[in-house]
Amino acid sequence: MTSPAYDLIIIGGGPSGLNAGVSARKAGLRYLILEKGVIVNSLFNFPTNMTFFSTSLKLEIHDIPFISHGDKPTRSEALEYYRRIVQSQDLKLHLYEEVVGMSPQTGGAYRVKTNRGVYDTLAVCVATGFYDTPRWLDVPGEELPKVKHYYNDPHAYIDQDVLVIGAANSACDAALECWRKGARVTMAVRSDRINDRVKYWIKPDIENRIKEGSIPAYFGTTVTAIRENEVDLQTPEGPLTIPNDFVLAMTGYQPSYDLFERLGIPVGDDEACQPIFNPDTLETQLPNVYMAGVACAGRQTSKLFIENTRDHGDIIVRNISEKLGIES
């Protein structure tokens, strides 16, 4: 086999993938980033008016300044920041190109197959995050167009019967925004209370709206079926059917385990379902295949964030460079 065209293929064009790309460029590696959607596709799907929990300083990568109007940047400012990184760093990036498989080649290399072609590479970095893969309800009617696993803007739900499923940050934000814009909002919550990790300025707001009856909430409740104009709930008091125009299923997200399986990346069999990798090098049990970013946490999606995975790109590229005999 001739020498592979690339030293590193990076799967995922989110913050961690771009971070790894900058590290690879600085180290002089032959690299390519493959992204199935747009630049930072996960952030693009965030709510239109979302503000980050972290400050812009903590979100900066490779000392590239992140300028925002406030201490905590908005979604729009984040999209602009990552666009500028791609342009200013001249990153090698293919958009709308989805990785569908990977096979080992002689000499420890890999052949990465996408919906557009194949790429031979010495190493692979999987930086696919988790926000692209919703946790499904697995109930009849979930495939209806009115069921949304991503919430963007409350304007679409004015004067509509909206069921919000969940009680974490995204669910509470969606419920409050839609209610304030004129939607008739009901919440269905599997647990017996609003999640304790809800933002401190949001939690009392949603609890007071529930207490006063502005937003009816059914706790200890699951959705059993969704139809065009109504939804069936199983409450502690028994089955209940409510009128419904839209369902916002804010049930959380998880890494793309289907992709991990296609790539052959081993995953732990415990509740966290973390990919198995060396914490010092981020290399998986597949030689020269690495994990980067929040996907490293598996289903523990509140464990890793952009701000505490900013060193992953340098860790991975340093390990690859050492193997190639390149001075970092």
- Tens of pLDDT, residue by residue, the chain (328 residues): 567 999 999 999 999 999 999 999 999 999 999 999 999 998 998 888 888 878 999 999 999 999 999 888 999 999 999 999 999 999 999 999 999 999 999 889 999 999 999 999 999 999 999 888 889 999 999 999 999 999 999 999 999 999 999 999 999 999 999 999 999 999 999 999 999 989 889 999 999 999 999 999 999 999 999 999 999 999 999 999 999 999 999 998 889 999 999 999 999 999 889 999 999 999 999 999 999 999 999 988 878 888 999 999 999 999 999 998 886 5
The runs of H, that is alpha helices, within the chain are 15-27, 41-44, 56-59, 75-88, 169-180, 203-212, 257-263, 312-324
Our CA dihedral for 8, 54, 76, 62, rounded to 10 degrees, sits at: -40
| pLDDT the model gives residue 2 | 67
What are the tokens at 320? 């690859």
- Burial (CB < 10 A; 0-12, 13-18, 19+), residue 3, is exposed
CA distances in angstroms from 324 to 17, 19, 279, listed in the order given: 21, 20, 21
CB atoms within 10 A of CB 42: 21
| pLDDT the model gives residue 165 | 98
Q: How do residues 17-41 score in pLDDT, each as one tens digit?
A: 999 999 999 999 999 999 999 999 9
In angstroms, the CA 38 to CA 94 distance is 9
In angstroms, the CA 227 to CA 233 distance is 12
Q: How do residues 110-153 score in pLDDT, each as one tens digit?
A: 999 999 999 999 999 999 998 888 899 999 999 999 999 999 99
CA-CA-CA-CA torsion sign (186, 190, 193, 196): negative
Q: Per-residue DSSP letters for 119-135?
A: EEEEEEEE---STTSBP
Residue (of 286, 280, 282) closest to 295 by Cα position:
282
In angstroms, the CA 194 to CA 169 distance is 9
Residue (of 275, 265, 263) closest to 299 by Cα position:
275
In angstroms, the CA 328 to CA 152 distance is 42
Q: Per-residue DSSP letters for 180-234?
A: HTT-EEEEEESSSS--TTS-TTTHHHHHHHHHHTSS-EEES-EEEEE-SSEEEEE
| pLDDT the model gives residue 75 | 93
Pairing verdict, β 118-126 and 110-114: antiparallel
